[in-house]
Structure 1
Amino acid sequence: MVSRTCLITGANSGIGRITALELAKKGFNIIMLCRSLEKARPVRQEIKQVSKTGHVDLVWCDLASQSSVIQAAREVNDRYDRLDVLVNNAGLYIDTEQYSPEGIELTFATNHLGPFLLTNLLLNLLRKGHQPRIVTVSSEAHRWDRGFIFDELAKPRSYDGMKAYGASKLANILFARELADRLAGEGITSNSLHPGVVKTNFAQSAKTLQGLIFGLMRPFFISPEKGAETTIYLAASPEIENVTGLYFAKNRPKTPSAAAQSQYNATQLWALSEELTQVKKHLATV
């Protein structure tokens, strides 16, 4: 049987690294999409040592930069004739207001627009995959944002790190569900998940009050191994082969917030994301 191929963003640390390691043990070919090649190279060797197939590829990508996402998608499309699983795992939290090369607030650009663009540019490879799945890592932090002010997602009037992160995680769930609807009948599933509050380097450099609270609570967070369980389940379990459009926690469907269930939010977010990424134009070049 031909090995399945899984692309994981942010596969060099945290739950992305554990996800890559465990899927490699299960016989998946792994594509690591990482921003820091220096940090990713030793992890690639670590994954190769446990891999059943020995195939662990590494592609550079900064999800905050749309030109980087387009180039990475082009490389993957050139190297592979199919993709079976896409795990949108990478994400960030930042205290201070920062902007992407395209002039978009960095949290929204990295956590939502990057995965939105990457996923759309890899859909043709997924269409050729075996039981193809798209898994998007969100968070219970989506409940921090009860709804969007759509014209402030890209350029907020005032910046709050927690609010921006919550909005980006709400966007993850809406994107995964809308994607499931749009792919209905094509055999590609799309689900999102909450990994739990995981002990990783996430928000470790935060200097606000919220960041300090994160630091104090960190000893009580779950391990990356525990945090990766639901991602691995959604990527590989035969139990959810035809399950799509749901939000999971601890390997079970969970009801997200009302804002995450809003069709209006999903439709508006998709339209805004298409506009901000010019994805339809880029599809012709990848």
Structure 2
Amino acid sequence: MTNTEWTATDIPDQSGRTAVITGANTGLGFETAAALAQRGAHVVLAVRNLDKGKDAADRIAARAPGAAVTLQRLDLSSLDSVRTAAAELRATHERIDLLINNAGVMWTPKSTTADGFELQLGTNHLGHFALTGLLLDHILPVPGSRIVTVSSGAHRFGASIHFDDLQSERRYSRTGAYGQSKLANLLFAYELQRRLAGKSTTLSVAAHPGGSNTELARNTSPLVQTLFDRLLVPLMTQDAAHGALPSLRAATDPQVTGGQYYGPDGIGEMRGHPKVVKSNAKSHDQAVQRRLWTVSEELTGVVYPV
């Protein structure tokens, strides 16, 4: 097997492992959960809508008869929901082998979370930051445990962490806010790995799906959606099952090391087989990583033990 040929068939046996996947009722999260369930993992679908989650669980069971699939209600745009979900997960699962921070919103109209955060930053970064911190004591003691945070190629496109206007109150751009949230995902993943190094066998790894044809772009205008469907989908995107492969490799490949970033190997990292890819220089700025970490702890009230 070469580096460019990794597929879902290369996922090692996951029997006895518990995997919590956010946003697992559709798209990338669903395909990630289904693939892990097919390899024997007990998958927990952490979803906002339990009816959609039940439908996803039924579809996974149809693919993998006998699979262990449970549901957990989680709304990442509410810290109360994150805290409740974390408490319930801690009560029902003695160990968490994999936490895959997959859920996200993209290009939303200007709006805020229940806690007053800009919706994309609050959901994509702050919600996952809080959830991870609250579950960490059930992850760190588990040999070979991993935390996979899903970012995007959008972190490259002029995105910065605007500490002077973090919640986009003075100026809002759908694409800019999305890029900031995806850059934040990477800054978090890298800073977490640095804090874990030498203290735990838990790995923090990042991934991005490339151009995947999912429901994530549902907030685009009708004109943009039409152009996307007619021009970009055939040329630059892949289905959700292929888009999930970077996350799956980051979560399961024994050769993965902490702090790596996985994405497709094709042109522009839009499609293809998963491999280690590079993120931009801003994502590796340790001063920004530390500052965002401190701000995230202050905003969420979740202080990490590392």
Give 1:145 shift.
3.2
Q: 2:191 aligns to what?
A: 178
* Larger mean Cα displacement after TM superposition, 156-165 or 46-55: 46-55
Q: Which runs of 5+ in 2 are unaligned?
A: 1-13, 265-273
Give 1:95 shift.
3.5
RMSD of the TM alignment (CA)? Answer: 1.9
Matches within 5 A, 1:182-193: 182-185=195-198, 186-193=200-207
Q: What residue identity is the alignment partner of 1:168? A: S
For residues 192 and 71 of structure 1, what CA distance do their matches in structure 2 show? 26
Give 1:235 shift.
1.2
Q: 1:269 aligns to what?
A: 292
Contact 2:106 2:219 in 1 (8 A): no
Runs of 4+ deviating beyond 6 Å: none
Q: 2:251 aligns to what?
A: 235
Q: What residue identity is the alignment partner of 2:302? A: V
In the alignment, structure 1 residue 49 sits paired with structure 2 residue 56: no
Figure out how many residues of one structure are paired with residues of the other and give that number: 280
For residues 285 and 43 of structure 2, what CA distance do their matches in structure 1 show? 34
For residues 278 and 265 of structure 1, what CA distance do their matches in structure 2 show? 19
Contact 1:199 1:222 in 2 (8 A): yes
Q: What residue identity is the alignment partner of 1:106? A: L
- Deviation per residue, 1:192-230 (Å, 9 max, x gap): 112111001112232287656544423432110110111
For residues 16 and 220 of structure 2, what CA distance do their matches in structure 1 show? 41
Contact 2:159 2:176 in 1 (8 A): no
**Identity of counterpart residues, as a percentage?**
38
State the SS of the aligned residue for 1:63.
coil
Give 1:127 shift.
1.6
Q: What residue identity is the alignment partner of 1:145? A: G
Give 1:153 shift.
1.7
State the SS of the aligned residue for 2:44.
strand
CA distance change for structure 1 residues 212 and 50 in 2, over 3 Å: closer, same or farther?
Answer: closer
For residue 156 of structure 1, the aligned residue among 139, 161, 169 is 169
In the alignment, structure 1 residue 205 sits paired with structure 2 residue 219: yes
Give 1:255 shift.
1.7
Return the TM-score normalized by structure 2: 0.86
For residues 49 and 239 of structure 1, what CA distance do their matches in structure 2 show? 31
Give 1:4 shift.
0.6
Q: 1:114 aligns to what?
A: 127
Q: What residue identity is the alignment partner of 1:193? A: A
Q: What residue identity is the alignment partner of 1:252? A: K
Give 1:2 shift.
5.9
Contact 1:31 1:56 in 2 (8 A): yes
For residues 145 and 66 of structure 2, what CA distance do their matches in structure 1 show? 19
Q: What residue identity is the alignment partner of 2:163? A: F
Q: 1:169 aligns to what?
A: 182
* Larger mean Cα displacement after TM superposition, 220-229 or 63-72: 220-229
